[in-house]
Structure 1
């Protein structure tokens, strides 16, 4: 028996509408799932929060004299004034803090405490960068001349820095200190020295945590991501062939954050040149 014309028309309309309804429903489900998947993808793989001040600790401080070049020896900074650290904000740190050169570039807030006779009244906090090592003196007791012997945490400040918080005649004063973020002008600097068969890169003006725990370099052609080895302080070396390639550097700080400076050295870079990359905030 033939169906009435009105029933046939309703059936045809349903056949047309159902695919659209299904497509709409499927798109909605796909969009929701896709949004979640996209959200996972865009999260930075190595996301870390910005470096924040650490806890206060106890230590002592002394001072030493010298020219700009003498304040960066063990860290590899050639001239702390030219490189922006300044004579009034640098410190040599004891072995416990120096940590085989890893502390180079770390920033500290220091206050003179518990010495009314030698701490300057109304003294503000002193902010310094670790730019050198205070070597131990095992011929003297750690409480009588061997100030930088293990396990003491000690700051041997540049004289201009010491005089901001204490009297010259104090000699050695008790302090409290904490790690703080490094605030730098401009980007991280990479100074390349060496020869075609041996490359050394000095890393300086690092913001955020300030200290560098690893450095990688990459070229634009043959050179893949290549780890560089710490030579001393913040000087890093590799035997990889870098000449003729534009160079990208990836810095990792002690707080786990990365900074990648893409192709900052052009293909025709020369030894002795300095290049500016992306800094930590």
Structure 2
């Protein structure tokens, strides 16, 4: 009587061994949702987005940008890249468009509010793009992908709210790879003392009474697999940093 149970046991064991491997690929799976686009005539994104990028947020990635609702994640999602493709086979291409999150927003059960430029790039042809724009809101599927900015390093833009030398705020530009920046430290290079910064909003990090001397900014990258890595830029921010200036970190993160 026990023999007929043996194949069932082996089959169940096979399923148990197979499940973790299948689950490991879920980071590459597409998620079903809906997308709309910014109701403005400008094809690019907004220069007043919640991520704090300013005019950079309208032009980064060729203007293929998006606001996000749940994916904004209280600002942690700023700078993340997603492949977004609509699902209407009459109009939509197979590859869709890769967008960068630069703002917070949603509506009508949407995860994305794309720039008009990005929304149009989901289409197969120019005529199909006009049809998509006429629909206004479309069914989509999306997945997180790695951000890539050829010949660009991670860059720090000193925010206009900064007040040298009493208050420092900066946004992180050209966030690369597929990981989130979950913490930032500001270190004085002369004595190597560091302090954790506050995320003011979006991609903007702030501190009062910043250390004196040249400054090193360390970033903690958090991956889907739970691994955390501190990245230390090659270049420092000079002691006499200025409001509105940008400083090249000298590093890229794949």
Same fold flag (TM > 0.5): yes
| The structure with more radius of gyration | 1
Give the corresponding residue for 1:205: 174
Give the corresponding residue for 2:137: 172
CA 1:53 to 1:275, structure 2 compared with 1: closer, same or farther past 3 Å? farther
From 214, 223, 240, the equivalent of 1:246 is 214
Following the alignment from structure 1 to structure 2, what is the Cα–Cα distance between the partners of residues 206 and 221? 27
CA RMSD of aligned residues (A): 2.4
Alignment partner of 1:261 is 2:233: yes
Alignment partner of 1:187 is 2:153: yes
Structure 1 regions of 5+ residues with no counterpart?
1-51, 136-145
The farther-off stretch of 98-107 and 256-265 is 256-265
Q: Which runs of 4+ in 1 moved over 6 A?
A: none
Tell me how far 1:97 sits from its aligned partner.
1.1
From 163, 181, 185, the equivalent of 1:216 is 185
CA 1:175 to 1:273, structure 2 compared with 1: closer, same or farther past 3 Å? same
Instruction: Map 1:36-185; keep pairs closer than 5 Å.
Output: 54-64=28-38, 65=40, 67=42, 70-71=46-47, 73-80=49-56, 84-87=60-63, 89-94=64-69, 96-113=70-87, 115-117=88-90, 119-120=91-92, 122-135=93-106, 146-147=107-108, 152=109, 154-166=111-123, 167-185=132-150
TM score, norm. by length of structure 2 = 0.74
TM score, norm. by length of structure 1 = 0.68
Following the alignment from structure 1 to structure 2, what is the Cα–Cα distance between the partners of residues 128 and 82? 12
SS at structure 2 position matched to 1:212: strand
CA 1:107 to 1:72, structure 2 compared with 1: closer, same or farther past 3 Å? farther
Listed one character per residue, the Cα deviations across residues 140-188 of structure 1 (whole Å, up to 9, x for unaligned) are: xxxxxx42xxxx5511100011111242112111111100010013210
Structure 2 regions of 5+ residues with no counterpart?
1-25, 124-131
Give the corresponding residue for 1:13: none
Aligned length: 210
